[in-house]
């Protein structure tokens, strides 16, 4: 159950956060926690770990808000990067690696079954390698959109280009990707890539 978002100017929200006003933190959490959780979950692939990482991310945001510079991007882009980096740090940590190795067999089988039922593993058909053959601007877009969980609007904001340009480039990238795959792999790839459009 998510709370209703509070409409507030970004500058006002940043000001509240930088003056360590608890209202600013509450508004930030209510407005952005679900978006950050989605990105974190995509990286760590565990609801329990995602909840833990999100808490760590919000602590980092609260402690380091003075480091936010509006000339380098929006507040959302900054907190998204903090959350993503926190999640990446977690999956690279020794504790996470050990916990992954020590999962019991039943939970591993359930995880595999769920993945097979809900989504195709993009690395199984070598998409990351194929993406490296695309033009650099296409590579960046596909990387941000699929592998890092950005929306097209966030990519538009990140690169400072119109949303229409993002959509055009993504479609052009998909056309190029389609040329690399045939048969069943093509069908599987399209099922994944078409989500980006």
Residue 103 lies in a domain: no
For residue range 112-169, what is the model confidence (pLDDT) as tens digits? 445 444 444 444 445 666 677 778 778 888 778 777 778 888 888 888 888 888 888 8
**Statement to judge: residues 90 and 126 lie in one domain:** no
Can you give the pLDDT at residue 106?
47
Q: Which domain holds residue 126?
A: 119-196
- Tally the domains of the chain: 2
The reply to whether 129 and 75 lie within a common domain is no
Kindly state whether residues 17 and 78 are assigned to the same domain.
yes
pLDDT reading at 94 higher than 60 = yes
The pLDDT tens digits for 48-68 are 899 999 999 999 999 999 999
Show Cβ contacts of residue 140 under 8 Å, excluding neighbours closer than 6 positions. 159
- Average pLDDT (67-90) is 91
Q: Give dist(CA 170, CA 24) in Å, integer.
A: 36
Q: Any idea what the CATH number is for the domain that residue 46 is in?
A: 1.10.1740.10
Predicted confidence at residue 118, as pLDDT, reads: 41
């Amino acid at each position: 159950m998510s709370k209703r978002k509070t409409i507030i100017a970004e500058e006002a929200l940043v000001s509240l956060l930088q003056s360590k006003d608890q209202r600013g933190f509450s508004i930030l959490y209510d407005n952005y926690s679900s978006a950050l959780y989605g990105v974190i979950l995509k990286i760590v692939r565990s609801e329990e770990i995602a909840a833990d990482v999100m808490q760590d991310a919000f602590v980092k945001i609260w402690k380091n808000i003075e480091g936010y510079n509006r000339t380098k991007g929006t507040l959302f882009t900054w907190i998204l990067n903090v959350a993503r980096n926190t999640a990446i740090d977690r999956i690279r940590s020794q504790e996470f690696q050990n916990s992954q190795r020590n999962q019991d067999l039943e939970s591993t089988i359930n995880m595999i079954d769920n993945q097979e039922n809900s989504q195709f593993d993009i690395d199984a058909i070598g998409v990351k390698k194929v993406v490296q053959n695309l033009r650099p601007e296409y590579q960046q877009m596909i990387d941000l959109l699929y592998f890092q969980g950005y929306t097209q609007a966030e990519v538009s904001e990140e690169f400072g280009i119109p949303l229409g340009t993002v959509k055009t480039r993504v479609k052009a990238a998909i056309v190029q990707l389609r040329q690399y795959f045939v048969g069943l792999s093509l069908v599987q790839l399209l099922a994944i890539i078409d989500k980006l459009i």
